[in-house]
Structure 1
Amino acid sequence: MPPAHQDPQGHMDKTLNARRLSWMCSMLPDVRRGFWLDAQLGTLACWPEQVLAAEDVKAIARLAHRQQALTQSQLMLAGKAYAVMAQPLQADLGVLVFVLESGAKPASFQRLLAWACEWLEQLLQSTEAQATAPDLLFDYLNGAQYHSQHAAAPQGADKAALHSLERAALFAQQHWGLDCHFVTRSQGRALGKSVPVSLSAAERDTVFASAPESGELADYQGVLAGRRYSGVVLAAGRGSDRTLVLFCNCASADGRASTLMDSQRKQLQLLALLVCQHERSMRHSPTISWWRKTRYRVALAASMLMLIGAMPLEYRLSTGVTLEGGEQHAVVAPFDGFVGEVHYRAGDQVEQGTTIMAMDTRDLLLAGQKLQAEIDEFQQQYRRDLAGRELASALVWRERLQQSRIQLQRVQQQLQRALVTAPFAGHLISGNLNYKLNAPVSQGEVLYEIASLEGYRLLLEVAESDIRFLAPGQRGTLQLRSMPQQALDMRVTRILPVPLRESGAQSYLAEAVLDTEVVGLQPGMEGIAKVGVGQHSLAWISFHHLIDWLRLQWWLWTP
């Protein structure tokens, strides 16, 4: 009799062949194009149907047919290289040629291709009467209508929503009386209308041990949930991701399990394609699905960022702060001389008029005595010349006498200023002259800095790019390094037009005062202040400095 793929007149049933090739291409992973050529390289079927076999494809098919072995090659399509596999079928049934997607794994594809070709050969080499049985599963998976004797097949479920493996389980249960169980390392699940079986961990390990690592069909005989079962088991994946599909039926009353016929085993071998494809699709998403998911996730993330960025918040300007006394003065050397006595140093509290230190007055006393002697001598000479009526000489002595008296008066003033006193009550915040005893100092040299005990002021060092946002009257919060647990309220009083340049960055000073009195403050304390300067969006707060910098760079480099 003619092969099953021919009608009684001997012509090819191209519609059925195209449907079989289409099913194989959809089940085999990473197939871009598929061709079924006869022994004379005539086209029996193409997938997609509008694509015809090129001469390069026919050349690869010719080589595979001549060698009667799986042939691998490469094909250039639109400037890109794709892997090509050509598998000859037995008994001059033709050659299957598949063009694979880039990134496909040829090793795993070869095993699945061998199973698919074995199913197709068994289907085509059967007689017409025998061919109806192998075709049942193929038609069922493709949603075809059955012969009237199979009209009782379950039709209530939505076929478009059922997975191929689930539909295959329904077929095996109805036509062969085989229950189908999908087993993982953690659980087992009955597919289709199979009777659920609760598997223990030990029983799952036993089933896994009976399935070969190669993924081939293997016989199974064992006890599940207290009952003996017989069937076949096939596996997919490796390691912790390994999954099993068990087709089995319960033993008969005499304790013997019914055996599977060869035709059943041939069709169950086809189900290996379903299992592997199912397991692969569960772990590896197609590229287009990944891209779509990525696009949606990126769009969702962008929308959320836009909503968050548009949220209005109070922009709080952060700046460094130094605490100073409300009144602060420098104590300087009254004249050029030497340090004589030191009574206080930095950190001490002094009262108004307290002598802080004294200059060495020994040289001044000697100079005063010398000038007093010169005055006495000049006065005697002046009187002598005046009595002798030597008027010209008397005038000279009088001028010298006046100069000496002026110098003596200056020395006496320096002696009065030799005692350096505190201008007001306060703390000495700098200055330690203990190590400068008898050391020379210049007039106007800063010896101490004293801050009053009443009131404090804050000096804010504001960056040049942020000074435009600051204005008198704005309020903020201050945290000192010595009191990080306490937030102090403050208020800006004025902006000082005093530029500072440190480490190449320019900044300006602003003054502020505390709204409340705080115990434990000391001049010189430092901290960080945050001043509220108005409402702005979160995006503006985060990126306005970067935008300003880009504007300057654009202005710099544009002609």
Structure 2
Amino acid sequence: VENTGWKLIGLSVAVALAILIFGGGVYRVEAPFLLKTDTLAQIPAAFDGYIRDVHVHVGDRVAAEAPLLKLDQRELLLEEASGVAELRRHRSDAQRAEAEGDLAKMRSARALADQAEARLQIVRYRLSHAEVDAPFEGVVVEGDLRERIGSPARQGEVLLKLARLDQLYVEGKVHERNIHLLEEGRNGEIAFASRPQEKIPMTVERIEPLAIPEEEGNVFIVRCQITGDPQEWWRPGMSGVCKIETERRSYLWMLTRRTVNFLRMKFWW
């Protein structure tokens, strides 16, 4: 009986070793990721003015050409009315001088009319940009203006940032010890930190050739394309974990790889 027990133990060890050595599966490289987009529109103030209306908040999804915000037009409308009156006056003076044969006065009046028309065009340009619409379908990722209604905005000041959702991609940070296992075209999956139960397929699109130093060591940026359409709850800046398939390896290799590499670095000659 005692010998039988030892035989069973030996057989179990042999089977376990056989599974470790000859059994295996596809090894997957794990790395943290961020969801990013190449298309990020910065919505600036077209002129010095005051914020009158705000139609969106951070996190809102908007359609193309949907209204985002509006700058106060009242002062510009007064300037437009004054400019129109001034332009008419100078043109009238020019016509009168031409009829009277006073060429010098006519040329002076026409020059003043040209200047008035140029100022009027600037005012009308600003009026046409007082109402700001979304340049494309996307989501507002920056610019909470709810408490700034009635406050001034300077020309060129970025009021909102809009990200395009149909061009989202995964940016993984793969440790340098694993980067040699990857190549473009490899498949994998991502899981968001907010919904780890959902696994979303993706494919490696590009591996940046230059490493970036991080606290835990050098990493390489791996850009991955998500398979399928973007989901409503996705937002640029979301994070999670990606797992990228490499080649089939034995279970023994998977379990001992990091230890073996560590020992090789310590005791190489």
TM-score (norm 2): 0.70
The answer for the alignment partner of 2:11 in structure 1 is none
Picking from 484, 507, 514, the partner of 2:226 is: 514
1:289-368 correspondence runs (5 A): 314-324=26-36, 328-337=39-48, 338-368=50-80
* TM-aligned CA distance change 1:505 to 1:542, over 3 Å: closer
The answer for the alignment partner of 1:439 in structure 2 is 152
The answer for the alignment partner of 1:273 in structure 2 is none
Higher gyration radius (CA): 1
Structure 2 contact 36–168 (Cα < 8 Å) conserved: yes
Q: Secondary structure of the equivalent of 2:93?
A: helix
1:278-297 correspondence runs (5 A): none
Deviation at 1:342, TM superposition (A): 0.5
TM-superposition CA deviations, 1:51-80 (whole Å, max 9, x none): xxxxxxxxxxxxxxxxxxxxxxxxxxxxxx
Q: Secondary structure of the equivalent of 1:471?
A: coil
Q: Which amino acid aligns with 1:442?
A: Q
The answer as to 2:137 corresponding to 1:429 is: no
1:441-520 correspondence runs (5 A): 441-443=154-156, 445-452=158-165, 455=166, 457-463=168-174, 465=176, 467=179, 469-495=181-207, 509-515=221-227
The answer as to 2:243 corresponding to 1:530 is: yes
Structure 2 contact 171–224 (Cα < 8 Å) conserved: yes
The answer for the alignment partner of 1:402 in structure 2 is 114
The answer for the alignment partner of 1:378 in structure 2 is 90
Unaligned runs of at least 5 residues, structure 1 = 1-307, 552-559
Structure 1 contact 498–508 (Cα < 8 Å) conserved: yes
Deviation at 1:346, TM superposition (A): 1.6
Deviation at 1:447, TM superposition (A): 0.8
Q: Which amino acid aligns with 2:241?
A: I
Moved more, 383-392 or 478-487: 383-392
* TM-aligned CA distance change 1:497 to 1:392, over 3 Å: farther
TM-superposition CA deviations, 1:441-462 (whole Å, max 9, x none): 432625132434xx56332232
Structure 1 contact 323–456 (Cα < 8 Å) conserved: no
Deviation at 1:470, TM superposition (A): 3.7
What is the distance in 1 between the residues matched to 2:211 and 2:115?
Answer: 47
Structure 2 contact 83–116 (Cα < 8 Å) conserved: yes
The answer for the alignment partner of 2:14 in structure 1 is none
Picking from 125, 128, 133, the partner of 1:416 is: 128
Deviation at 1:498, TM superposition (A): 8.9
What is the distance in 1 between the residues matched to 2:90 and 2:214?
Answer: 59
* TM-aligned CA distance change 1:491 to 1:405, over 3 Å: same
Q: Secondary structure of the equivalent of 1:356?
A: strand
Structure 2 contact 172–242 (Cα < 8 Å) conserved: no
* TM-aligned CA distance change 1:418 to 1:530, over 3 Å: same
Q: Which amino acid aligns with 2:240?
A: G
TM-score (norm 1): 0.37
Q: Secondary structure of the equivalent of 2:101?
A: coil
Structure 1 contact 479–487 (Cα < 8 Å) conserved: yes
What is the distance in 2 between the residues matched to 1:405 and 1:509?
Answer: 54
Deviation at 1:467, TM superposition (A): 5.0
* TM-aligned CA distance change 1:487 to 1:357, over 3 Å: same
What is the distance in 1 between the residues matched to 2:266 and 2:98?
Answer: 85
Q: Which amino acid aligns with 1:427?
A: V
Deviation at 1:401, TM superposition (A): 1.5
The answer as to 2:81 corresponding to 1:369 is: yes
Deviation at 1:516, TM superposition (A): 5.1
* TM-aligned CA distance change 1:550 to 1:469, over 3 Å: farther
Structure 1 contact 431–449 (Cα < 8 Å) conserved: no
What is the distance in 2 between the residues matched to 1:413 and 1:546?
Answer: 70
* TM-aligned CA distance change 1:390 to 1:346, over 3 Å: same
1:2-21 correspondence runs (5 A): none
Deviation at 1:469, TM superposition (A): 4.6
Q: Secondary structure of the equivalent of 2:164?
A: strand
Structure 2 contact 67–134 (Cα < 8 Å) conserved: yes
TM-superposition CA deviations, 1:17-54 (whole Å, max 9, x none): xxxxxxxxxxxxxxxxxxxxxxxxxxxxxxxxxxxxxx
What is the distance in 1 between the residues matched to 2:110 and 2:262?
Answer: 76
TM-superposition CA deviations, 1:102-122 (whole Å, max 9, x none): xxxxxxxxxxxxxxxxxxxxx
What is the distance in 1 between the residues matched to 2:263 and 2:116?
Answer: 71
> Which structure dedicates a bigger proportion of its chain to strand?
2
Deviation at 1:474, TM superposition (A): 0.6
1:20-169 correspondence runs (5 A): none
The answer for the alignment partner of 2:5 in structure 1 is none
Q: Secondary structure of the equivalent of 1:347?
A: coil
